[in-house]
Amino acid sequence: MSIPLAITGVGMVTGVGLSAPATCAAIRCAIDNFQETRFMDDGGEWIIGSSVELEQSWRGETKLIKMAAASIKECLDQNPKIKPEATPLLLCLSEPGRVGRVITDDNQFFVTLQEELKIEFHQKSRIIAMGHVSIGIALQRAREIIEKYDVTQVLIAASDSLLVASTLMDYQEKDRLLTSNNSNGFIPGEAGASIIVEASKKQATLKCFGIGFGVEEAHIDSEIPLRADGLTIAIKESLQDAQCEMGDLDFRISDVAGEQYHFKEATLALGRTLRKRKPTFDIWHPADCIGEVGSVIGLVMLIVFKTANEKNYSDGRAVVAHVGNDDGKRSACILKWS
């Protein structure tokens, strides 16, 4: 077992709040901001989405920069002792192959973000353009950096938006989008989020004890019968890393955004990993309130669970959080409030 990672700072900008406390309060109350967008579906109706309302009507790459910067500023304001030049930034972005991706050059995007913040981060900073599973890779990378180098904290940030015409058209053609003609789909959204992780401390805080990965051959675009092999492998690997069993956990938190495929996958994976009888084993899915926000959802899940424990309304102190990409990549992590 490697060192547990303590999550000591958070920041978030979503369609239901321009800060982490505001967003978590809205999600706790099941409040969403789903409204008609400027995009139309093939049935002639306006597509419903969850957009972030900033002080100006920025779009495209500029808006991603603004959302990322806002969440990072919130994160750093909570931790004034952190020196950015000594803190690596692991920036999570969407997959390069996603249709309608507005970022043309990842490296330039990173440079522009630093210019927006007027900050230069540590030389061990990296871009992780892996969509939903970026959070698992970032946590693993952060653990390696803290273990091997003279680094105290690592900042993990993400910014993404699916409210792009070509992106929405692609998902609509695949019957993935919730529209007037399709009830088995997700509502698109956008968001920015950040967390600060460091070596485990004694004070009460959220800690990541285990990380796991898997690959699902029966991904959502395939015609192979789904058995949830990839997610099961990822969960088992994270449990082994954390040296615990599924029955030791209280519930799950997932990136499920409304499609039946992902609910079925989560159910199958639970049946193959839980060996202890439990009266309930709930699943939280914050996307119900903020929509499908791409690479940001993993950070949102961690922040929501952290806030729930801080405010004493969580269903438990230990969970498995799992995410997955359309191409079959899966990741899971074991989180405990301790």
Say how many domains are in the chain: 2
Using CA atoms, how far apart are residues 332 and 71, in angstroms rounded to an integer?
23
Last residue of a domain, one of 199, 217, 233: 199
What pLDDT shows up at residue 78?
A: 87
According to DSSP, residue 133 is labeled G
Q: In what order do the strands lie in the sheet with 153-161?
A: 126-129, 89-93, 153-161, 190-199, 5-13, 206-215, 329-337, 318-324, 251-254, 283-284
Determine the pLDDT at residue 3.
85
Contact 11, 21 (CB under 8 A): no
The domain containing residue 214 runs over which residues?
Answer: 209-337
- CA–CA distance, 246 with 320 (Å, rounded to integer): 8
Contact residues for 139 (Cβ-Cβ < 8 A; gap 6+)? 5, 156, 197, 208, 211, 333
Take residue 293 and report the two structure tokens written for it.
């926000």
Which token pair is 244? 């615990």
The tokens describing 331, both together, are 């990741």
Could you give the CA distance from residue 59 to residue 22 in angstroms, rounded to a whole number? 23
The answer to whether 187 and 293 have CB atoms below 8 angstroms apart is no
What spatial distance separates the first Cα and last Cα of the chain, rounded to whole Å? 17
Residue 9 phi/psi, 5-degree rounding, is -155, 145
The reply to whether 29 falls in a domain is yes
On whether both 60 and 104 belong to a single domain, the answer is: yes
For position 202, what pLDDT does the model report?
A: 67
Who's near 77: CB < 8 A, 6+ residues apart? none
Token pair, residue 298, equals 């993993």
Domain boundary among 176, 199, 222: 199
- The CATH number of whichever domain residue 72 belongs to comes to 3.40.47.10
Q: Is residue 204 part of a domain?
A: no
- For residue 276, the tally of other CB atoms under 10 A from its CB is 10
DSSP label of 88:
-
267 and 124 both lie in a single domain: no
**pLDDT digits (tens), the chain, 338 positions:** 578 999 999 999 999 999 999 999 999 999 999 999 999 998 899 999 999 999 999 999 999 999 999 999 999 998 888 999 999 999 999 999 999 999 999 999 999 999 999 999 999 999 999 999 999 999 999 999 999 998 999 999 999 999 999 999 999 999 999 998 999 999 999 999 999 999 976 677 999 999 999 999 999 999 899 999 999 999 999 999 999 999 999 999 999 999 999 999 999 999 999 999 888 899 999 999 999 999 999 999 999 999 999 999 999 999 999 999 999 999 999 999 98
Place of tokens 């438990």: 316
Same domain? 87 vs 133: yes
Within this chain, do residues 143 and 260 fall inside the same structural domain, yes or no?
Answer: no
Is 250 a member of any domain? yes
User: Is 278 within a domain?
Assistant: yes
Is residue 47 within 8 A of residue 37, CB to CB? The reply is yes
In degrees rounded to 5, what are phi and psi of residue 22?
-65, -45
| Domain end position, chosen among 172, 199, 226 | 199
Whether 52 is in a domain gets the answer: yes
Residues 44, 185: one domain?
Answer: yes
